[in-house]
Structure 1
């Protein structure tokens, strides 16, 4: 399927209630300690630290969040800026440890959380494909076998020998998405990556996600400020607002409530 296809697609049927639970978030809270005053330099900070004059205030990024995600489900997280959605994804991906509660994950994870994470901007795109693939656990032989598929999906055949520092953010997103989805991970985590780049490639990525969910039983966790995107892709949605869980349920119901926020 080419990136120029514009046909609409519908969400696949919801997974069976008896389907395996691949992500279980149980009463998770995340607390950060933030310095209560600003310092003009590291020297001032360490002086205050040594004198025991450094005071911290508690910032609760997540406050008792609980949900489960079934295998083959497309699950969305929505909320206004700073509500803790990305923090929740990082806990699921194993980047952060929750302050309390538990998060259990069954299967391999392909995270697309921070654009450019795992890339060396001084290296060429070709070198970065091997570097990022290795970080995701792919062997060199596997990347050799699928290299052309990655390049063709990213549509960057003429730019493989160019250092990544000369790429636009949209071009970086193309490579990151192509590497992460070249196989069928058990869980694909996507945080705003699809908002970068031209709309034709965004549609292509959406189709790829749908193919993974419907044909290969891949579970997708999606964070996006585009409610239209969440409505097109996700089966269920969890609404987190200022760290607190506001609503959990079918996509249409949760997104409708979220869109009425502030009215």
Structure 2
């Protein structure tokens, strides 16, 4: 089955400086919206990507269609086996290369988190091509790589392996990661005993201990109390600066302007606008 290529969109490199976040020097910005082969370095290519989720036991389809259409960003349809499916992403095509900082904009359910999960390799498309080159640091779901029955220390090792670290690298960084969590003796306890804030601290500390080439970030990542948040924000700014590629899902225009030089506007699983941050925000309607 053929793949439809989206029309390439030329983007200007517009990245305003933000407090604590200096804009690095970069060359010409690559295209987004097309599927050109990227230059050497980290890259993300999505070509005609479709992601659907089947809805089983779908008796009363008209009611389910109404409910799902209102509560999700995807479109409700049927697959070849006549199962009800939610089309979470539809015909997504773009190419990202080193230096790209892309903001994902859209209402809840528009497909932002699903797109992050596709890039992270958590969801596989039923149609289209996904090609990711470079170490991916997913910082959008604290549950990734976490075993609730294992201790904090055990989960540092597990999540480190999930992020691509070797056992030797994990052991070399274990003390530094543990200190950053501020969890102390709780690291010897099962994670199921943790509060949501404690779990976020643990996941954040491990995820930001690697050298990211491709950083997938959601503004909803929370890290606990005010004192820890101040420390976490400082590390997050450094982490973003080190990343070759940033894909950032956010509802905040100021954050998008501070972190990103490009933007994609998603609506019901489709890209409806792509361009510079100013262009996309201005045309959002």
Whether TM exceeds 0.5 here: the answer is yes
Q: Which residue of 1 aligns with 2:44?
A: 23
Moved more, 241-250 or 13-22: 13-22
Q: Deviations over 1:4-30 (max 9, x none)?
A: xxx922452474226746112222222
Is 1:243 matched with 2:263? no
On the 8 A contact 1:231/1:255 being kept in 2, the answer is no
1:136 deviates by: 2.2
Q: Any conservation in 1 of the 2:140–2:221 contact (CA below 8 Å)?
A: no
With normalisation by structure 2, the TM-score equals 0.72
Q: How does 1:142-157 map onto structure 2 within 5 Å?
A: 142-157=169-184
How is 1:50-199 mapped onto 2 (pairs within 5 angstroms)? 55-195=82-222, 197-199=224-226
Cα distance in 2, alignment partners of residues 226 and 197 from structure 1: 20
Q: Deviations over 1:167-186 (max 9, x none)?
A: 22122112112111212021
How far did 1:77 drift? 1.2
Measure the CA separation in 2 of the matches of 1:187 and 1:151.
Answer: 24
Please give the secondary structure, in 2, of the residue aligned with 1:255.
helix
Structure 1 distance, partners of 2:234, 2:26, is 19
Per-residue deviation at 1:112?
2.7
Matched, 1:37 2:59: yes
- 1:210-225 equivalences in 2 (<5 Å): 210-214=237-241, 216-225=242-251
Question: Is the CA contact (8 Å cut-off) linking 2:215 and 2:240 kept in structure 1?
Answer: no
Tell me how large the CA RMSD over aligned residues is.
Answer: 2.8
- Unaligned 5+ segments in structure 1 are 1-6, 40-53
Per the alignment, do residues 198 and 239 of structure 1 end up closer, same or farther by CA in structure 2, a change over 3 Å counting?
Answer: farther
Q: Match for residue 232 of structure 1?
A: 258
**Residue 281 of structure 2 aligns with which residue?**
255
What is the CA-CA distance between 1:80 and the residue it aligns to?
0.9
- Equivalent residues, number: 238
Distance 2:275 2:112 in 1: 16
* Aligned partner of 1:9 among 14, 20, 34: 20
CA contact (8 A) 1:31 1:58 kept: yes
